[in-house]
Amino acid sequence: MKKIFLLLALTMAVRATADTPLYLDPTADLEARVEDALSRMTFNEKVAMCHAQSKFSAPGVARLGIPDLWMSDGPHGVRAEISWDSWKYAGHTNDSVTAFPALTALAATWNPALAEEYGEALAEEALYRGKDVILGPGVNIYRTPLNGRNFEYMGEDPFLAGEMVVPYIKGMQRNGVAACVKHFALNNQEKWRDHIDVRLSDRALREIYLPAFRRAVIDGGAWSVMGAYNKVRGQHACHNEMLINNILKGEWGFDGVVITDWGGAHDTREAALNGLDLEMGTFTNGLTSESAFTTDDYYLADPYKKLLRSGEVAPSTLDDKVRRLLRLNFRTAMRRDKPFGSLCSEKHYDVAERVSNEAIVLLKNDTLASGTTLLPLDPGQGRRILVVGENATRNLMKGGGSSELKPKDIVTPLDGLRDIYSDNIRFTQGYASGRPMYGHSETIAESVTDSLRHIAVDMAREADVVIFVGGLNKNHGQDCEGGDREEYGLPFGQPELIEALAEVNPNLIVTLLSGNAVGMEWADKVPAILQAWYLGSMAGNSIGSVISGSVNPSGKLPFSFPVNLEDNSAHHFGQLSYPGDSITQDYADDILVGYRWHDTKGIPARYPFGYGMSYTTFRLDATPANVTMSGNDKTEIKVKVTNTGKRAGSDTLQLYVAPDPANTSLERPVKELKAFRKVWLEPGATTEVTFAVTPDMFACYDPDSNGFVAFPGQYEILIGTSSTNFPISETISYRQ
């Protein structure tokens, strides 16, 4: 149907005469086209545009040749086709896609240029599949490692998330596919997500939880934003006056469409008045006996008509929504010059693999008694290698909720390792987790767990090296939408298995696939640990390349790994801070989230934010100098980076600002990330990185001023390679 509408519109454009409607002229001013189309629409056509007609489409105006809008779940691939009026898969045979790495992996690259390539490649797949809007990226802040949906987001730091989301959006939207940035806002847990009421300070809102959304809208130019399920200060986020009217559309000047999360609307009057533009839902369209509820019953359907006709809400509310929907339609579905797209191309696999290569984080690589490290594992030594772990063969694109994918090709970790080490590889499952399911999980008998562990341990005795591939998966209660994790430690008996393997074979490499930090009480018994995320279609290639050394790991953690769950800020303050009492939740950690909490409170993380090792070494040099800045002055700090090792590789320089507590009575973190730069160097090579230091880097949100203020005083500029490692420090005195 969509293609028929497009053909009609294109035919009309080709046959254009002096009487051709302005809205069909792609060369005309966008706003003029919007006003022209709006003036031609009937009341019923306008209201129809404001709510779904199927699970993933909203109506255009067939009479005017305006096509429907088609959406698909993201954010790391185009989801398989869903039926028109049910959540069952449609059973198509042409909807297999490239599975790109999950967004935690993208964030771990600390490479904005790769984020742009990622967005562009994903848009090309969406175009080929006929999609106008991809429901992603997600930029909710990583507050607790128990959040089942953290793998879809970009970590704990708003600056890092903002730097990565802007190029993603630009790469996607230049192809005529809209990014739908989600979930606006404070959807930082899945437990009770439909109704939990988040209470927090203005400072926490403005400094931690909104900046990445602001960057997405103002710098990225996002064409759509998805509301969150939860409440914020007593009002559902999908029609929240403060979030949508006052901040998003008011302060930030957002000209795009606010879309509900599916079923996220709860009140017609609030939806009409508080900025919701498009209501999507989980209900039938009334064409089957699935439910008596039809699309006419949506809050922004017949109930909205009733309020409009009675005069209880103004017609201007409807016109504003339709203007935004038309604007989105002209930018996407009716855009005449967009490409056809492509699916599962070599280019897309290349992008996916390069992101995977740069995402993997080397957490540990101890020097052994022999004076060498276990990693990289040279393929030429002919060692007998045992691969243990269900995640070595499991399809990790299944499950997880709305981000589930149907990849055309999958290179599993075992596949990738066999490609490199060939007949030297043996495999055993080691543990079992059950089938991926939504809303509940399968129970594995203890006898099965014990048997699998005993087999693995016996085989490990005969191996020269053991590579354990475990972590989490997309089961309910793991990294999965609709529910949070139930424990911080690794599930399915993995801790006991890892310790048993280490006891019989000290040459153990642990490779974790997850979107979350996990408890590692076994870490001291293991010489080498990799954090390998959910890497998508090309996972095995990248894991094999990093383990063998053909790729030098350069990933940096986008969130902290606490030693214990109680060391995390959200959990430190008890149940009301996380997960709440099922009705209300207080963000008692305020602005001290992630490394801000660990470093300010002196609670060391097992692996800190920004941390990641390499197979080579780097030296940073700068000339310390006291600098005075005033007003809107800026200064530059130049840092020389030298690869002092024997392998080519990348490192990420990170600049943090540490304010003097005497500058203001407001509590501030001891340091905050304000800039970063990833550099690639051959052995022995040196390059110079220039950081511009500007007054906005010193600012914090001042509730008394209702805005960001850079208070005068001393600021230390810390430059290093993680949130706890700073070989360079410079002091700046700032005067207003």
Q: If DSSP codes are grouped into helix, strand and coil, which group holds residue 339?
A: coil
Nearest partner of 629 among 715, 701, 708, judged by Cα? 715
- Would you place residue 8 in the very low, low, confident or very high pLDDT band (cuts 50, 70, 90)? very low
pLDDT given at position 11 = 44
CATH of domain 2-85+93-331: 3.20.20.300
Identify the CATH class of 360-559.
alpha beta
- pLDDT, averaged across the chain: 95
pLDDT given at position 166 = 98
φ, ψ of residue 442 in degrees (nearest 5): -90, 135
Taking 60 as the threshold, does the pLDDT of residue 9 lie above it? no
Half-sphere exposure of 596 (CA within 13 A, CB side): 25
Report the alpha-carbon distance of residue 606 to residue 428 in Å, rounded: 29
Tokens standing for residue 457: 């341990």
Q: Give 89-132 as a DSSP string.
A: B---SS--B--PPPHHHHHHHT-HHHHHHHHHHHHHHHHHTT-S
- Would you place residue 163 in the very low, low, confident or very high pLDDT band (cuts 50, 70, 90)? very high
- Would you place residue 283 in the very low, low, confident or very high pLDDT band (cuts 50, 70, 90)? low
Mean pLDDT of 545-560: 98
Mean pLDDT of 86-112: 96
Is the distance from CB of 249 to CB of 213 less than 8 angstroms? Answer: no
Superfamily of chain region 618-735: Immunoglobulins (2.60.40.10)
Calculate Rg over the CA atoms of the chain. Answer: 26
Cα angle 316, 239, 399; round to 5: 130
Is the distance from CB of 612 to CB of 722 less than 8 angstroms? Answer: yes
Q: What is the pLDDT of residues 334-369, one digit of tens each?
A: 999 989 999 999 999 999 999 999 999 999 999 998
Q: What single-letter amino acid sits at 238?
A: C
- List the end-to-end C-alpha distance of the chain, in Å, as a whole number: 60
Q: What number of other Cβ atoms are within 10 A of residue 181's Cβ?
A: 27
Nearest partner of 77 among 415, 473, 396, judged by Cα? 396
Please classify residue 79 by burial: count the beta carbons closer than 10 Å to its beta carbon, then call 0-12 exposed, 13-18 middle and 19+ buried. Answer: buried
Indicate where the chain has its CATH 2.60.40.10 domain(s). 618-735
Tokens standing for residue 136: 């992603």
pLDDT given at position 231 = 98
Report the alpha-carbon distance of residue 736 to residue 709 in Å, rounded: 10
Q: What is the pLDDT of residues 678-704, one digit of tens each?
A: 999 999 999 999 999 999 999 999 999
Is the distance from CB of 553 to CB of 360 less than 8 angstroms? Answer: yes
Taking 70 as the threshold, does the pLDDT of residue 637 lie above it? yes
Q: What number of other Cβ atoms are within 10 A of residue 357's Cβ?
A: 25
Report the alpha-carbon distance of residue 724 to residue 613 in Å, rounded: 13
Q: Are strands 465-471 and 425-428 parallel, antiparallel or unpaired?
A: unpaired
φ, ψ of residue 642 in degrees (nearest 5): -125, 130
Nearest partner of 326 among 14, 28, 12, judged by Cα? 28
How far does Cα 1 stand from its chain's mean position? 32
Mean pLDDT of 414-418: 98
Report the alpha-carbon distance of residue 400 to residue 149 in Å, rounded: 8
Indicate where the chain has its CATH 3.40.50.1700 domain(s). 360-559
φ, ψ of residue 575 in degrees (nearest 5): -60, -40
Is the distance from CB of 647 to CB of 616 less than 8 angstroms? Answer: yes
Mean pLDDT of 266-279: 98
Report the alpha-carbon distance of residue 170 to residue 181 in Å, rounded: 12
Q: What is the pLDDT of residues 432-466, one digit of tens each?
A: 999 988 888 889 999 999 999 999 999 999 999 99
DSSP 716: E
Tokens standing for residue 513: 């696939």
Please classify residue 623 by burial: count the beta carbons closer than 10 Å to its beta carbon, then call 0-12 exposed, 13-18 middle and 19+ buried. Answer: exposed
Beta-sheet strands, E only, within 101-243: 133-135, 178-184, 197-199, 224-227, 231-232, 235-236
Report the alpha-carbon distance of residue 34 to residue 98 in Å, rounded: 35
Is the distance from CB of 117 to CB of 350 less than 8 angstroms? Answer: no
- Would you place residue 16 in the very low, low, confident or very high pLDDT band (cuts 50, 70, 90)? very low
Q: In terms of pTM, does the model score above 0.85?
A: yes
φ, ψ of residue 580 in degrees (nearest 5): 95, -175
Q: What is the pLDDT of residues 213-257, one digit of tens each?
A: 999 999 999 999 999 999 999 999 999 999 999 999 999 999 999
- CA torsion angle for 165, 167, 171, 176 (degrees, to 10)? 60
Q: What number of other Cβ atoms are within 10 A of residue 728's Cβ?
A: 17
pLDDT given at position 86 = 84
Indicate where the chain has its CATH 3.20.20.300 domain(s). 2-85+93-331
What stretch of H or E contains 58? Answer: strand 57-58
How far does Cα 714 stand from its chain's mean position? 35
Report the alpha-carbon distance of residue 518 to residue 636 in Å, rounded: 39
Report the alpha-carbon distance of residue 366 to residue 378 in Å, rounded: 16
Q: What is the pLDDT of residues 603-613, one digit of tens each?
A: 999 999 999 99
Tokens standing for residue 410: 């999958």
DSSP 448: H
pLDDT given at position 439 = 84
Q: What residues are labeled active site?
A: 261
Cβ contacts of 496 within 8 Å, gap of 6 or more: 453
How far does Cα 31 stand from its chain's mean position? 32
Q: What is the pLDDT of residues 364-384, one digit of tens each?
A: 999 998 899 999 999 988 899
The length of the chain, given as a count of residues: 736
Cα angle 302, 308, 311; round to 5: 145
